[in-house]
Structure 1
């Protein structure tokens, strides 16, 4: 990912906004972020073909925490907070077309 200048969570529109040093902007919805979670629980659910989370609190981001220079950790309103999103993965998520959830 290009170097990040500003990272913001726009609560009213439920968007994570990343503004890069070159001025370009990447916006990712809370829904897309949650469905793209790669924590052990979410990956296990996908392996077992369990239905994806489909409730509004699950898609609302409550807080964002830096994980060193590696990426960010997201805290969702339903209590889910185990996913770490590396900068390079956020770039991939921004380009993905996620309808219901990611494959394993």
Structure 2
């Protein structure tokens, strides 16, 4: 687990930026973080129970609150604030961004749903 040395909320770009001691950086869009929230509301309580979150194209991050030394609690402009994003989960979201995003877009299309 890598702990970021700097956390910035880039409101104009609508993303969360995490900088690490080795010089690496994660830039995670608000919409992506919202639809991948680790909360039970989004992920469900067991395998196969994840909800398809729609209509979040314009959601923003309204708050970033450290939770102990292991995570962040993010608050979103749609009122969602129950997900605790651990450092490991944020790194996973960064590593798997392209794959997860394409899977999300495919799920939206299959459901006839929209990002808007």
TM-score normalized by structure 1? Answer: 0.83
Relative to structure 1, the CA distance from residue 93 to residue 50 in structure 2 (aligned partners, 3 Å threshold; closer, same or farther) is: closer
Unaligned runs of 5+ in 2: 108-116
Partner of 1:61: 61
Matches within 5 A, 1:78-89: 78-89=78-89
Could you say what secondary structure the match of 1:12 adopts? coil
Identify the structure with the greater strand proportion: 1
Instruction: Give 1 or 2 for the bigger CA radius of gyration.
Output: 2
CA positional deviation for 1:35: 1.2
* TM-score normalized by the length of structure 2: 0.75
Post-superposition Cα deviations, 1:36-78, rounded to whole Å, max 9, x if no partner, equal 112111123972x754232345x31001000010110000001
Q: Which residue of 2 aligns with 1:13?
A: 13
Shift in alpha-carbon separation, 1:81–1:24, aligned structure 2, 3 A: same
1:27 is aligned to: 27
> Matches of 1:21 and 1:72 in 2, distance apart?
18
Q: CA RMSD in A?
A: 2.3
How many residues were matched structurally? 100
